[in-house]
Chain A
Amino acid sequence: MSRLPVARTDLACGLFITILGAGALVESLRMPRFEERNADPFTVPGLTPGFVSVVLLILGAALLLRALSGRTATSQIGTGVTITQWNRGSVVRTVLTLAAVLTYGLLLFGHFPFVPVTAAFIFAFTVGAELIAPERQLSLLQVLLGAAVLAIAGAFTLHFVFTDIFLVRLPGGRWW
């Protein structure tokens, strides 16, 4: 019998939550009891995480069992679950966003001077998002020029606001 996409999603989520709850419970039980310090047994660090993980384990197992039985919450397709509904446009946009955001946030920010990497990120993201948008009305030259202005103005403004007004030292050092 083939399952509804929602039930398949719930199955994966239920499995993940159950494993997470079980793992957290094991970790909670492994936490020290501080018996050598004569600590009160009801104040040990693993107590609350243990309680929370047990509840999470039960809830995860309930979701898993519900999905295994092929049922969803309201027996309707699409109860807020959208992960199964993709088209080419949404895939391309999501991949572009993830790639740009992860590259800037994890690899560039903090390791290179703020203004050039931020300007490069804003420029690349804006141009990329515009080029894949079917409803684009601007010419390529307009997009490139507009994105360049936005990138330079945005990067310098953010740098000025955070470093000179809010006195936050941005990582990567000054560039100019």
Chain B
Amino acid sequence: MMDSLTRLLASIAEIGFSAQIFSVLWATLLGIIVGMIPGLTATLGVALLTTLTFSMNPNEAILVLVCMYIGAIYGGSRSAILLNIPGTPANAATAIEGFPLARSGRAGEAMAIATTGSFLGTMVGMVALAVISPWLAEFALKFTSFEFFWLAVFGVALCGQLTSMDDVLKGWIAGFFGLLISMVGQESMHAYARFSYGDPNLAGGLSLLPVLVGAFGCAEVFSVMRQEATAPIKAKVSGVIAAAFSSLRYAVTWLRSGLIGTFMGVVPGVGEDMGAWVSYAAARRASKKPEEFGKGSVEGLLAAETGNSSAVPGALIPVLTLAIPGSAPAAVLLAAMVIHGLRPGPLIMIQQPDFFYSIVAMVFWGSVGILVLGLTLTRPLLYVLRVRREWLMAMIFTLCVVGSFAIAGRLFDVQVMIAFGLIGFLMRETGFPVAPMILGVVLGPILDANLRRSLSLTEGNLLGFVSRPISAVLACIVLVMLISGLPPVRRWFANRTKAMLSRRGSDG
């Protein structure tokens, strides 16, 4: 315990007392700006910045990416509060409470509360990251191919279910579509090039980064240009620092939201959006003033921002311990780690413990970055919201193209990026969530290797998949999840809830 704390403090000091602190500042500021601009998401920011980190040493590269990630999720609160447009999907709940506050002349207070909430949320998540990850990594050492197979199925199914609550079927389709995409190219056991049709580019498989940049970056350009423009804002900002301190009074709210957000971050592929919504809903249920929700509730705003920010370190927990991303930006971060020669997974605490503590320290400094920059640059950052999309989108697309090309110097990657831009755009337009598809692409190789290894070990006996305790539990969870997503079961639950509510209404 003391050894872990010493290592963590040493990592924090190493960043704080070196030139790396400048990287923290510029990357966090860049993240805030990316998050603030409607249409630019944290995933896009992390993906584009990954292409700019090739010449950096691995630690510095991951540091700037983590800071960009934390900054972008926080930055989205600015446009949510001032424009009623969430800068990133994770800030949708923020807009519900932040915009009414801004409209009533309390924009400065709302931004300060969002800043403090994000800082506290990231801190709660950071503690969870430091405490849970070593334990989870040790537990994951017991995993065999059976458990990893179920973990891959569990990840895709759960991500599909939670990112598409209205239409679970579409979430699952998106996840399995991603798994199918990951099958393209040479497989690991017999070196056979699947779905390649003699094309050497396809035989090499589809790289994750062009797929990600396309699905989140290029598709974003299409989506932003398709929507109506937003009007430039004029907001008065005052009382920032005082409001920042006042939000500390809601200790129960931020602690509860921080824990909920962290848990939602840990769940594969779900991430910040659900962290914010579930925290917001819990705060509303527990509030002494639920009637203020939707009309500018400070508690609601704090819960939403704490929830989405705490999901960031939460999403890093499965990345570091299982090599499974907790959210879409975390998937890019995972890819970046692999590109930089780092090997996240169950062996991280044995092979690279210093790297693990560095990540925790990066999260710490990223959260300090958003607190300092968020409170001091309130007025200058307002100018970012006045940039018109017409002047931005061409540059963003050019970065997507050059970034995709820079990874391996192949024009094929640019074509893949554009193809996935179109696929991502069509998926959004037709109501399919994109995150499960990306998770499917990430988990595909894990599913493939472990399914075949398991079947080979048991000589085709399917009982092997449910005869070990951990795999049996995972199999049961997947089964319950699939059954609960079936339309008749969902209808039955909905009718039952409705009946209970009406009975309560007639009793009361």
Contacts and interface: CB of A to CB of B under 8 A. Distances in A.
Question: Do A and B actually bind?
Answer: yes
B231 to A, nearest CB: 8
A161 B456 contact: no
Contacts of B221: 97, 101
Given A101-B397, A168-B406, A13 B172 contact: no
Given A59-B172, A73-B166, A80-B167, A93 B398 contact: no
A175 interface: no
Nearest to A6: B431
Interface centre among A37, A146, A150 (most CB of B within 10 A): A150
A17 interface: yes
B259 to A, nearest CB: 29
A71 B189 CA distance: 44
B251 to A, nearest CB: 36
Per DSSP, are chain B's interface residues mostly helix, strand or loop, or mixed?
helix
Interface stretch (B310-318, B343-351, B447-455, B468-476): B447-455
A135 B170 CA distance: 36
A56 B190 contact: no
Contact of B411 (A20, A110, A129): A110
B190 A34 contact: yes
A43 B452 contact: yes
Nearest to A128: B390
Contacts, number: 198
B447 A56 contact: no
B428 A52 contact: no
Contacts of B429: 81-83
Interface residues of B, number: 68
B269 to A, nearest CB: 17
Contact of B398 (A39, A53, A102, A158): A158
B148 interface: no
Nearest to B418: A105
Interface of A is mostly: helix
Contact of A56 (B176, B192, B194): B176
A19 B397 CA distance: 32
Contact of B167 (A20, A39, A73): A73
B394 A126 contact: yes
B291 interface: no
A135 to B, nearest CB: 6
Contact of B227 (A90, A129, A169): A90
B194 A49 contact: yes
Interface in A74-115: 74, 79-83, 89-90, 93-94, 96-98, 100-102, 104-106, 109-110
Given A43-B456, A48-B447, A125 B180 contact: no
A130 B229 CA distance: 11
Given A73-B167, A80-B167, A80-B431, A45 B187 contact: yes
Q: How large is the interface on A (under 10, 10 to 19, 20 to 34, 35 or more residues)?
A: 35 or more
A31 interface: yes
A42 to B, nearest CB: 4
A161 B52 CA distance: 9
A129 B398 contact: no
A72 B402 CA distance: 40
B319 interface: no
A122 B180 contact: no
Interface string B31-60: 000000000000000000000101100000
A42 B54 contact: no
Contact of B451 (A51, A60, A83): A51
A69 to B, nearest CB: 11
Shortest beta-carbon contacts, A-B, top 5: A73-B167, A80-B431, A42-B455, A83-B429, A125-B394
14 contacts: A49-B183, A56-B173, A63-B169, A74-B166, A97-B225, A101-B222, A104-B401, A105-B417, A105-B418, A106-B415, A110-B411, A110-B414, A125-B393, A170-B402
Given A158-B398, A166-B54, 20 more contacts: A13-B170, A20-B180, A27-B195, A43-B453, A47-B451, A48-B451, A52-B447, A55-B176, A56-B180, A59-B173, A66-B487, A82-B431, A105-B401, A106-B414, A129-B389, A133-B388, A150-B391, A154-B395, A155-B398, A162-B406
